[in-house]
Amino acid sequence: MASLREIKSRINSTKKTKQTTKAMQMVAASKQRRALAKAQAYQPYMEKIQEVVGSIATGDTDISHPMMESREVKKTGYVVITSDQGLAGGYNASLIRDLTKKLKERHKSTDEYTIIMVGKIGRDNARRLGLPVSEVVTELSDSPSFDEIKTITRKAIGMFENEEIDELYMWYNHFVSAIRQDVTENKLLPLTDLAEELGENASATPSYEYEPNEAVILEGLLPQYGESLIYGALLDAKAAEFGARMTAMSAASDNADSLVGELTLVYNRARQAAITQEINEIVSGANAAN
């Protein structure tokens, strides 16, 4: 059985750990609120650019663009968004687990796909699992700007335009609530699904007049639209990350409280037993003296 000093030391160290996890919980809660507000503020822009692109794509013109044309799929690209730090519960583990499962179902070999990885956790897991990674982006800020993700967007869209890949998917954790993050897959390219989806709701799409013409506007908007999808997913993933970390640190603090209670009970029992033993020794000594 541990000595009173050892038990007391464990109690003190657990209390210090709780102070750390409580502080991390508060920091994560603050960052989560800011990240969620930024993601929500960006949503109207995404909806409007989708509306304009859809208006052209579903119009009565014969306009075409490489980003909207399907071709035989020889290689698939994946943009995978993870975090740079751990201590976020199952935030990264569930994403990597679902991704690897899907890769095994879709592809017979690693030559059939490549990954653009965001985050150190994803990078390290990809190395451990032997996944093919063509680009790694790490150390993004807690509130990333559009400029910070240009490396990702240019690489991903450029690979499709140069026919290095024939389709592009995005994997990330979608923020549902502070205690729930859903692993999400979105198809980025080609934008055939967008045209089909908006075509079904064409009557609800406003009509626009374009200057100089639809083809020029579409040429400029489509790359921006692809970039907006990636950026929007990154903002969403950041909100999910901080929500997961806040929940994980809250659970850690609760566990620390529970452990301190258990250790305190053990300490008090051990202390009581020690006092009882001392009393018995004193009584035994007094009786022996008489």
φ and ψ at 174, to 5 degrees? Answer: -85, 135
Assign domain 4-25+249-289 to its CATH architecture.
Orthogonal Bundle (1.10)
The pLDDT of residue 103 is above 60: yes
Q: Mean of the pLDDT values across residues 19-36?
A: 93
Confidence of residue 16 (pLDDT cuts 50, 70, 90): very high
* The pLDDT of residue 161: 86
Q: Any idea where the domains of the chain sit in the sequence? A: 4-25+249-289, 29-247
pLDDT tens digits along 134-158: 999 999 999 888 888 887 888 888 8
When comparing pLDDT for 290 and 238, which is higher?
Answer: 238
Query: What local confidence, expressed as pLDDT, does residue 219 receive?
Result: 77
CB-CB contact of 234 with 169 (8 Å): no
Q: Residue 59: which pLDDT band, with cuts at 50, 70 and 90?
A: low
Classify domain 29-247 by CATH number. Answer: 3.40.1380.10
Helix axes 120-129, 91-106, angle to 10 degrees: 40
Q: For position 207, what pLDDT does the model report?
A: 67
Give the model's pLDDT for residue 206: 64
Q: How confident is the model at residue 41 (pLDDT cuts 50, 70, 90)?
A: very high
**Of 51-55, 196-200, 221-225, minimum mean pLDDT range:** 196-200
Q: Residue 30: which pLDDT band, with cuts at 50, 70 and 90? A: very high
* Whole-number Å distance between alpha carbons of 180 and 183: 10
* 116, 160 Cβ separation under 8 angstroms: no
Per-residue confidence (pLDDT) for residue 204, from 0 to 100 = 55
What pLDDT, on the 0 to 100 scale, is given for residue 109? 92
Mean pLDDT (whole number) for 99-109:
94
> Residue 2: pLDDT above 80?
no
Reported confidence tier of residue 58, pLDDT bands at 50, 70, 90:
low
Can you read off the two tokens belonging to residue 239?
């909100």
Burial of 168 (0-12, 13-18, 19+ CB in 10 A): buried
Residue 80 exposed, middle or buried by CB count within 10 Å (0-12, 13-18, 19+): buried
pTM: 0.85
Spatial separation of the C-alpha atoms in residues 1 and 20, rounded to whole Å: 29
Question: What's at 229, amino acid-wise?
Answer: L
Both tokens of 123, joined, read 């990078």
- Per-residue pLDDT averaged across 210-225, rounded? 76
What residues form DSSP beta bridges with 117?
Answer: 80, 136
Give Cβ neighbours of residue 172 (< 8 Å, ≥ 6 apart): 80, 81, 95, 183, 184, 233, 234, 236, 237, 240
